[in-house]
């Protein structure tokens, strides 16, 4: 980076809900300072000024679901020094990856009266399936403190300090008693990446895995525990097949509890 020239930031959207890029605007206390520290060159949700690259840092939200987007992500990569995926869609394919387990023509017909008008790929795939990703932020949505850490770290030329641990560790740190042990509530916390702050158990519900699988997640052991707690095959199948359905350990575990009659 050149002295005095502020690093440039770009924000890109693919198939997504806009919630992860909204996390940037949700940094109400930091937004104006951030806009002073970096040059926000391309952020269509926030500004009509859209400047051409190259960009020092691109934040990419959303998954690849159309042929056009598969081309577009290559152009984004080519224009970006660092590329960071933000959220479950960009990092793992998102909830729209449920189509990967179904017949997409059936999906199109279920929603649209004139399927011929719709152009879509059969799968929803993460950004890393198409281009090199320098860092991936998990979560549906991402945590805004993690986002600020990644932006600061990459622009300062250091490694982002994002811990890799399970939600269980975060629960213990927060002082939340285990919902599985104390209340028999099925929870995906033991196999889910931390980062959200272990919100769900603190609110008395089981983690639903929106940050995706943690490293070395033992999903089979957890599924066995769920069975002991009374969860049936179908609910185990559904639990692993949601916002990170296409992330490998979750995909495998949901397949292991698949039900031919109830493919959903």
Partner 1 sequence: MATKTIRVDYLTRVEGEGALELDISGDAVSGVRLAIFEPPRFFEALLRGRAGTEAPDITARICGICPVAYQMSAVHAIEAAWDIRLDAPLRALRRLLYCGEWIESHALHVVMLHAPDFLGFPDAISMAAVHGEAVRQGLALKKAGNALLRLLGGREVHPVNVRVGGFYRVPTRDELAPLASTMEEARATAIALARWVAAFPFPDFGRDYEFVALRHPTEYPMNEGRLVSSRGLDIAVAEYEDAFAEHHVAHSTALQSGLRARGSYLVGPLARFNLNHDRLSPSVQALADELGLAPGCTNPYRSIVVRALELVQACEEAEGLIAAYAPPPAPAMAVTPRAGTPQASTGAACTEAPRGILYHRYDLDAEGSILQARIVPPTSQNQSTIEDDLRLIATRDLALPEHELRDHCEQAIRNYDPCISCSTHFLRLTVRRQ
> Applying CB under 8 A, which residues contact partner 1?
13-23, 25-26, 28-29, 31-32, 35, 40, 44-50, 65-66, 69, 94-96, 98-99, 102, 104, 106-108, 110-114, 117-118, 120, 124, 140-141, 196, 199-200, 202-205, 208, 210, 235, 238, 242-243, 262-264
Q: Is the dihedral of CA 161, 165, 168, 173 positive or negative?
A: negative
Q: How far is the CB of 168 from partner 1 (least distance, A)?
A: 17
CA distance 58 to 71: 16
Q: How far is the CB of 258 from partner 1 (least distance, A)?
A: 12
Q: How far is the CB of 67 from partner 1 (least distance, A)?
A: 11
Q: Please identify which residue in the block is written with the tokens 């639990």.
A: 239
CA distance 23 to 9: 15
Q: Which is nearer to partner 1, 14 or 250 (CB)?
A: 14
Q: How far is the CB of 184 from partner 1 (least distance, A)?
A: 15
Q: Which is nearer to partner 1, 11 or 131 (CB)?
A: 11
Q: Is the peptide bond before 150 cis (omega within 30 degrees of 0)?
A: no
Q: Specify the 3-state DSSP secondary structure of 42.
A: strand
CA distance 92 to 35: 29
Q: Please identify which residue in the block is written with the tokens 């690849």.
A: 64
Q: Which residues contact 260 (CB under 8 A, 6 or more apart)?
A: none
Q: Which is nearer to partner 1, 215 or 261 (CB)?
A: 261
Q: Is the dihedral of CA 87, 93, 97, 101 positive or negative?
A: negative
Q: Which is nearer to partner 1, 40 or 171 (CB)?
A: 40
Q: Which is nearer to partner 1, 98 or 223 (CB)?
A: 98
Q: Is the dihedral of CA 206, 209, 211, 216 positive or negative?
A: positive
Q: Which is nearer to partner 1, 23 or 80 (CB)?
A: 23
Q: Give me 188's structure tokens.
A: 């995906």
184: exposed, middle or buried (C-beta count within 10 Å: 0-12, 13-18, 19+)?
A: exposed
Q: Which is nearer to partner 1, 24 or 168 (CB)?
A: 24
Q: How far is the CB of 45 from partner 1 (least distance, A)?
A: 6
Q: How far is the CB of 102 from partner 1 (least distance, A)?
A: 7
Q: How far is the CB of 216 from partner 1 (least distance, A)?
A: 25
């Amino acid at each position: 980076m050149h002295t005095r020239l502020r690093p440039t930031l770009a924000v890109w959207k693919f198939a997504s809900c806009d919630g992860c890029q909204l996390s940037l605007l949700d940094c109400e206390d930091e937004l104006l300072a951030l806009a002073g520290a970096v040059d926000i060159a391309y952020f269509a949700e926030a500004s009509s000024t859209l400047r051409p690259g190259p960009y020092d840092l691109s934040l990419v939200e959303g998954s690849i679901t159309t042929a056009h987007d598969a081309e577009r992500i290559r152009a984004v990569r080519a224009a970006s020094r660092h590329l960071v995926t933000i959220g479950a869609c960009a990092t793992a394919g998102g909830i729209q990856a449920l189509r990967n387990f179904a017949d997409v023509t059936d999906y199109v017909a279920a929603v649209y009266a004139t399927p011929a008008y719709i152009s879509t790929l059969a799968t929803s795939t993460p950004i890393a399936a198409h281009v090199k990703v320098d860092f991936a932020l998990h979560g549906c949505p991402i945590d805004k403190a993690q986002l600020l850490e990644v932006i600061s770290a990459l622009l300062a030329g250091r490694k982002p300090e994002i811990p890799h641990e399970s939600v269980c560790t975060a629960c213990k740190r927060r002082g939340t008693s285990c919902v599985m042990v104390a209340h028999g509530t099925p929870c995906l916390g033991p196999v889910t990446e931390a980062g959200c702050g272990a919100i769900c158990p603190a609110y008395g519900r089981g983690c639903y895995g929106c940050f995706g699988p943690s490293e070395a997640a033992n999903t089979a052991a957890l599924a066995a525990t769920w069975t002991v707690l009374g969860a049936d095959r179908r609910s185990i199948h559904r639990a692993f097949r949601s916002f990170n359905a296409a992330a490998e350990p979750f995909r495998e575990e949901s397949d292991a509890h698949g039900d031919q009659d109830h493919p959903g």
